[in-house]
Structure 1
């Protein structure tokens, strides 16, 4: 059967493809195109002056740098959490498994207030840390912790189904053939988990970069200190500097797209390599 025949055998392919393209255009492509149209009102010199302003560069550095660092922490912590939830049985396991989803369901403003209260200088965790000379609330460290909080479920829920499908018998077979524990992890377990782990990493990073509600409360929002790029965009909008806001948004959009695209390519490479015969 030819490729064309196989495609025609799918019922409603033309209709579903048309609806898909229509919805993608209405919900994603057209709004994003509006950013570029509004930014086009600026000259190249004006655009460059906006995106290279010290305040803008610092906000972008805070958002992207801390989001990447938080995604790295979530990748490691998420793998450990998944391993404990899937491979072990212990009292309260289902409760801990449900707790992982709290950042999904919790309103971002509530999460921000809770973290700020917890890590304030008189908070339950903030007070002992302040005694050690470590200030969390209203600093980049607070932003970092908030990004970890909202990103951890993405890694856990992306990797968990893959580890559930990975039979323990495969690990036992590797060990019976003389493989050490580290060799089993490196040659058997990790190749199967890497594509899903990279997907979770990309999702956690993307969420952290664009996060607003849970971050602004604990950030303090001090220019050139703890101001995130999404907040700077909101400030520019409140000042009716719409072109400035869209210029910063375009830079964030392009940078985030390039990073996620590179991660997706890396994920595809890892998945192809894991499926290749040894």
Structure 2
């Protein structure tokens, strides 16, 4: 009929949309709203005093900075690992490919204990670094290493499908037109990978901010130095200060949401530029 709205080939949008909203509400929105409502038990002066104390601000700095730098490291080396796994054939390739997912399967507490045993002053690697004055365990460096370990699969698994779908003919055409390899990578390949790289970075960064199990052992948990915000929230809960714990969690939630929003906007702009080309 002229002017009528086209119908989908597969019906059921209304029902599936209803299930989607219901599921997201139960799993995501209701728990997050509980954090907000629990925080309302505090007055504004109490809330501000809780979230701006020196110990809390120091934990924010440790959590966000270590997660950010770990994300940057994974951005570079995750792309390199994905490139090797997609573009080259070599013995043991499937084994290495499966090892990438090991941080997903390994309990985070086990990862934390293993990293601490390796990088402690008397550990396998830490014993060689200690005489050089390099302290890894019980320092922000150790926290960053732990976050690199748990965040690497996010970048690799996000970039891999894009590399697999990238046509090699485009690269060959650029080389035939006289473009150097570095210029081909910078002008042809990297723009195609940027949206996936930004997505992988955002996922690794978000995971790093809330990571607890793999960090709590290697950090040393020293207030004002290596104490992460998730541990501080757990400390508040153990002290039955539920309102204080939710207040700190709410600040982390807001800051994380804003940072992810900015990253998603950048990704959206890059996707638009890619489509326009």
CA separation in 1, counterparts of 2:160 and 2:9? 35
Q: Which position in structure 2 is the counterpart of 1:248?
A: 248
CA separation in 2, counterparts of 1:230 and 1:188? 41
Q: Deviations over 1:91-125 (max 9, x none)?
A: 22221111111101101011011101111111111
Q: Which position in structure 2 is the counterpart of 1:60?
A: 60
Q: Deviations over 1:164-213 (max 9, x none)?
A: 11122211111111112122112210111000110000000000000000
Q: Which position in structure 1 is the counterpart of 2:113?
A: 113
Q: Which position in structure 1 is the counterpart of 2:192?
A: 192
Moved over 2 A (4+): 1-10
Q: Which position in structure 1 is the counterpart of 2:204?
A: 204
CA separation in 2, counterparts of 1:4 and 1:50? 57
Q: Kindly tell me: are residues 33 and 2 of structure 1, through their superposed partners in 2, closer, same or farther at Cα, counting changes over 3 Å?
A: farther
User: Is the 8 Å Cα contact of residues 7 and 13 (structure 1) preserved in structure 2?
Assistant: no
Q: Which position in structure 2 is the counterpart of 1:234?
A: 234
1:143 aligns with 2:143: yes
Q: In the TM superposition, what are the counterparts of 1:3-14 in structure 2 within 5 Å?
A: 5-6=5-6, 9-14=9-14
User: Is the 8 Å Cα contact of residues 191 and 274 (structure 1) preserved in structure 2?
Assistant: yes
1:50 aligns with 2:50: yes
Deviation at 1:6, TM superposition (A): 3.2
CA separation in 2, counterparts of 1:45 and 1:213? 32
- Give TM-score, length-normalised by structure 1: 0.96
CA separation in 2, counterparts of 1:75 and 1:2? 51
User: Is the 8 Å Cα contact of residues 112 and 146 (structure 1) preserved in structure 2?
Assistant: yes
CA separation in 1, counterparts of 2:45 and 2:85? 54
Q: Which position in structure 1 is the counterpart of 2:69?
A: 69
Q: Which position in structure 2 is the counterpart of 1:163?
A: 163
Bigger mean CA deviation after superposition, 112-121 or 83-92: 83-92
CA separation in 2, counterparts of 1:120 and 1:224? 20
Q: Which position in structure 1 is the counterpart of 2:122?
A: 122
- Give TM-score, length-normalised by structure 2: 0.97
Q: Kindly tell me: are residues 79 and 209 of structure 1, through their superposed partners in 2, closer, same or farther at Cα, counting changes over 3 Å?
A: same
Q: Which position in structure 2 is the counterpart of 1:24?
A: 24
CA separation in 2, counterparts of 1:270 and 1:122? 47
Q: Which position in structure 1 is the counterpart of 2:216?
A: 216
Q: Which runs of no fewer than 5 residues in structure 2 stay unpaired?
A: none
Q: Which position in structure 1 is the counterpart of 2:35?
A: 35
Q: Kindly tell me: are residues 9 and 86 of structure 1, through their superposed partners in 2, closer, same or farther at Cα, counting changes over 3 Å?
A: closer
CA separation in 2, counterparts of 1:183 and 1:2? 52
Q: Which runs of no fewer than 5 residues in structure 1 stay unpaired?
A: none
Root-mean-square deviation (CA), in Å? Answer: 1.4
User: Is the 8 Å Cα contact of residues 139 and 220 (structure 1) preserved in structure 2?
Assistant: yes
Bigger mean CA deviation after superposition, 17-26 or 87-96: 87-96
Q: Kindly tell me: are residues 212 and 2 of structure 1, through their superposed partners in 2, closer, same or farther at Cα, counting changes over 3 Å?
A: farther
CA separation in 2, counterparts of 1:141 and 1:187? 34
